[in-house]
A and B are shown apart, each in its own frame.
Chain A
Amino acid sequence: MIYHRPQSIDEALALKSSLGQRARFIAGGTDLVVGIRKGRTTVDSFVDLSRVPGLAGLTRAGDTLRIGAACTHAQLEREGITALAQACETVGGPQIRNMGTLGGQVGTASPAGDVSVALIALDAVVELASVRGTRSMPLADFFVGPGRTSLEPDEMVLSVTVPTNRKSVFYKIGKRDAVAISVVVAAASVSPSGDVAVGLGCVAPVPFRPRKSEQMLRGHPLTSERIDAAAAMAASEVSPISDHRGGATYRRAMVETLTRRLLRTLADTPYEGLLSVAMSHS
């Protein structure tokens, strides 16, 4: 095994291009190292991104925030985007949040990825890079299955961009507050023009957007009746499984409950309060 420590993004991409699939990028290591120890992942060589300049930057431009792939969850807890901050502060414990990065979060493509759910509910766009250039796509389209993404073998996640002018909120149901994989997780946001986006986790093979439910809300005020109908529609769109953390029936019921609760919170919160939607995590 070989351990590479590239000094630039270009050098990292050139290494990945020449080394191929079993060369793995490592940054926070919170998923990769566990996978190696459990024998789930075989790595021929590491390409260490933890000190590549320019990969951990946060850039505000207009109504957007561009988050570099090496930004940690701890950094994003403090960035004032409600759903994103709420999701980040429920991930792991303080130690994990100091290590785990945004690029790892989305690249791992866990259907239970709390932050991925918040990001798709913010209509985030992911930027991918390789020696062939960069490309961008909606983050919701980037996830193709459990642990599977649209990344080509020579590509890396470069950044995720989220709008800063949406009201948003996040809620997680877990067995305990910290270091626990979620049972059901949900997030929602609304744009200044009234477009609603919903993200759901642990209820489909990927972090999931209930498009029919979102469609029902498009162009309509968030009335109580419409919210109830959209929440019921969201529950009909998901495909949860039963496992030791929760049953499929329970998960589907919680999708309806959480979707309704989050949409009501958004409806009840004035835009002026958009950066400080208060929701308890109890």
Chain B
Amino acid sequence: MSESNALHPERVAMTLVLNGHSVSVEVDPRETLFDTLRERLRATGTKGACLGGECGSCTILLDGEPVTACLVMALQADGRAVDTVEGLAEGEQLSALQAAFVQAGAVQCGYCTPGLLVAATALLRKNPKPTEQDVRRGLAGNLCRCTGYGKIIEAVLNASQQGDAQGTQKSALRGKR
């Protein structure tokens, strides 16, 4: 058997395009992308609650598609584009979606917010004019225990009504590079 593609612990070098920037990092092949992002790259905007794919708190975009980082092995992201909540704003300039969350009061304790922002960014990119039902379905993988979802859905719909919510689109496009 060829060992040419076998990777042994403890550390394996990998590269990912994090929020548009190429990043090299050494990972343990046993760790998940969630751990790599938070513990090695200090991209702590991505939150974890259930760590079993049920709550959506750790939602990121992998090659532009929303996934839960807690269920992705780090090495599965080697060479791929990863977008997190940190990539949504341009410096101090919030994306239209983020601004809509603030305006609607869609944040209470805030723990689910990064995952919801990333999931909603992906939703709006695929479906720029969603119905309320589309938003509910698109965010069905994200749990919030504070808000009751009403203001979150309102915020996403508000962002979608601001024409080409440029912030949202710009950030979302990064995932396609």
Contact surface of A with B, Cβ cutoff 8 Å: 1-7, 11, 14-15, 18, 26, 28-30, 33-34, 37-38, 46, 48, 50, 74, 92-96, 98-99, 177-179
Contact = CB atoms under 8 A, between A and B. Distances in A.
A96 B68 contact: yes
A50 B74 CA distance: 12
Contact of A37 (B52, B59, B122): B52
The A interface, classified by DSSP as helix, strand, loop or mixed, is mixed
B5 A34 contact: no
Given A34-B52, A95-B141, A179-B54, A4 B7 contact: yes
A198 B97 CA distance: 45
Contact of B75 (A11, A28, A48): A48
Contact of B72 (A92, A94, A99): A99
B154 interface: no
A93 B142 contact: yes
Interface string B61-72: 010011110111
A29 B73 contact: yes
Contact of A5 (B1, B7, B32, B141): B7
A2 B29 contact: yes
A95 B71 CA distance: 10
Contacts of B1: 14-15, 18
Nearest to A180: B54
A2 B6 contact: yes
The B interface, classified by DSSP as helix, strand, loop or mixed, is mixed
Contacts of B108: none
A50 B53 CA distance: 18
Contacts of B142: 93
Nearest to A94: B141
B168 to A, nearest CB: 17
B76 interface: yes
Contacts of B138: 94
Given A6-B5, A99-B67, A26 B140 contact: no
B140 A179 contact: yes
B76 to A, nearest CB: 5
Contact of B68 (A1, A14, A99): A99
21 contacts: A3-B73, A11-B2, A11-B5, A26-B73, A26-B76, A29-B71, A33-B53, A33-B71, A37-B52, A48-B73, A48-B75, A50-B76, A94-B119, A94-B122, A94-B123, A94-B140, A95-B56, A95-B68, A96-B71, A96-B141, A99-B72
